[in-house]
Structure 1
Amino acid sequence: MLSCAIIDDEEINRLTLEHYISLTPGLQLMASLADSIAGLKYFQEGNRVDLLFLDIEMPHLSGLDLLRALPDPPEVIITTARQDFAVDAFELQVADYLVKPFEFSRFTQAVQRVLQRRRPAAAPIAEAAPASTDLFVKVNSKMVRVNFDEVLYVEALSDYVNIVTPKQKYIVYTTLKGLESRLAQFPNFVRVHRSYLLNTQHIESIEDNTANLRGGHYVPIGKSYQEGFFKSLQKI
């Protein structure tokens, strides 16, 4: 049984979530609150839940700011009418991001994702579910889900980066350094040049300090990065 709470300033959205929760075995609603200020007070008073359904745009304190203010937040499923906060939300390790209006089937999928994230702790003898390798990136005005296991390399382009997969390229407004910090959870990504991050699992061969990747792609290995890079290859 997962205890849960709702924080949303729109009554119709709270009522919809309350109904969905009532239809879902294993969920127990503990609180349904009308804004983040009430939510902050609720948690500061020592109340705990396993799962929080959280809106973003609310008066005085946004949902993301509330999440940042909690020292030990529960699992969070974002429920919002806005698509453009997805990157910020996933950087805060939310379990899922639902864009209103959403159907009960999508709600159920998000709840199942939370259950999968919690399963290794509840049953340590079971094999842990693999961590997601997906990240949302902003391409022009659209949020795109990218599987970074499939990414060959990332190339710096001034204030942008070029994320290259075997089938597609994504031009994203961010710096290579900023993206490198976000990819720290993926050990296969290695900085091999001032302008390149390389996914080592796609290397087919290395010759003349150039990594030859699947699909005929090539990435140079900078002189100052060579020693650390070749040492890391010995561990593969």
Structure 2
Amino acid sequence: MSANILIVDDERAIADLVEIYLKNENYNVYKFYSGRDALDCVYSAPLDLAILDVMLPDIDGFSLCQRIREKYFFPVIMLTAKVEDMDKITGLTMGADDYITKPFNPLELCARVKTQLRRYTKYNHGEAAREESKAEHDFRGLYINKETRRCALYGQALNLTPTEFSILWHLCENRGRVVPAEALFEAVWGEKYLDNNNTVMAHVARLREKMNEPSRKPKFVKTVWGVGYTIE
């Protein structure tokens, strides 16, 4: 079944171009030029992924992403004309899974869409069957299951995005070892890590927030300064 993708951009030429490329990949596209119209679609259509422009005439992309994350956990890709790291970190902190800076190559955007959908499908439907002993981790009150995509802390469910789930799962698989930020990025995003990339840091901060972990002395996801992250 074809995935349903939401595209929101007030620059009609860009929205129309993205629509053409996505439809060429046999995706169903819901296209809007304003945040409010897009939000109505979010609440009424069965979406699998959203592509949000940051600069919209009514609701900005960051706020729209935040509203989506109140109820839904499908992947969100941000489109931004800004290149400052803080703008990227803001989007990721709001719950976005990826971002791409304008001007962009539509083929690269399609590739990122495929990557996000593949991860989302894998962790929500358990496509990659594994042995039961390797499909879950349960320790110190943290439970995570790769096949069911269920995650709980002290019995309380954690509503994680696909990217947040992937980060936590990868750290659990390497429990007791320090995972360099570069290795974590390449394992989760499937792309080459670039210098000064704050993507992992932003997602870890969001993950800790959902786990009610203090940033200075977290109990689970710990930072090894200058190296990476670990779960002991």
Q: Distance in 1 between matches of 2:110 and 2:15?
A: 16
Q: Distance in 2 between matches of 1:55 and 1:16?
A: 14
**TM-score (normalised: structure 1):** 0.54
Q: Distance in 2 between matches of 1:13 and 1:3?
A: 18
Distance 1:179 1:78, change over 3 A: closer
- What 5-or-longer segments of structure 1 have no aligned partner? 134-147, 152-168, 173-177, 203-234
Equivalent residues of 1:120, 1:126 under 8 A apart:
no
Q: Distance in 1 between matches of 2:46 and 2:61?
A: 17
Equivalent residues of 2:5, 2:49 under 8 A apart:
yes
Equivalent residues of 2:92, 2:203 under 8 A apart:
no
> Do residues 149 (structure 1) and 149 (structure 2) align?
no
Q: Among 107, 131, 138, which residue is 2:166 paired with? A: 131
- What 5-or-longer segments of structure 2 have no aligned partner? 131-145, 147-162, 169-177, 182-194
- 2:53 is matched with which residue? 55
Structure 1 letter corresponding to 2:224: N
Q: Distance in 2 between matches of 1:7 and 1:15?
A: 10
Secondary structure in structure 1 of the residue aligned to 2:76: strand
Per-residue CA shift, 1:95-142, capped at 9, x if unaligned? 210111211331132112212321122235535598349xxxxxxxxx
Per-residue CA shift, 1:194-215, capped at 9, x if unaligned? xxx7529x7xxxxxxxxxxxxx
Q: Distance in 2 between matches of 1:22 and 1:2?
A: 10
Secondary structure in structure 1 of the residue aligned to 2:78: strand
> Do residues 81 (structure 1) and 81 (structure 2) align?
yes
Q: Distance in 2 between matches of 1:112 and 1:179?
A: 20
Distance 1:37 1:190, change over 3 A: closer
Secondary structure in structure 1 of the residue aligned to 2:99: strand
Which of the pair has the greater relative contact order for Cα pairs under 8 Å at 6+ separation?
Answer: 2
Q: Distance in 1 between matches of 2:167 and 2:112?
A: 14
Distance 1:122 1:91, change over 3 A: same
Structure 2 letter corresponding to 1:4: I
Per-residue CA shift, 1:135-161, capped at 9, x if unaligned? xxxxxxxxxxxxx9336xxxxxxxxxx
- 1:67 is matched with which residue? 65
> Do residues 12 (structure 1) and 13 (structure 2) align?
yes
Distance 1:149 1:42, change over 3 A: same
Which has a greater percent of helix? 2
Q: Distance in 1 between matches of 2:62 and 2:116?
A: 18
> What is the identity percentage for the equivalent residue pairs of Structure 1 and Structure 2?
19
- 2:224 is matched with which residue? 199
- 2:32 is matched with which residue? 33
Structure 1 position 80, deviation (Å): 2.0
- 1:215 is matched with which residue? none
Secondary structure in structure 1 of the residue aligned to 2:82: coil
- 1:91 is matched with which residue? 93
Larger Rg: 1
Equivalent residues of 2:8, 2:53 under 8 A apart:
yes
Equivalent residues of 2:75, 2:117 under 8 A apart:
no
Equivalent residues of 1:95, 1:113 under 8 A apart:
no
Equivalent residues of 1:95, 1:110 under 8 A apart:
no
Structure 1 letter corresponding to 2:208: A
Secondary structure in structure 1 of the residue aligned to 2:45: coil
Count of residue pairs the alignment pairs up: 159
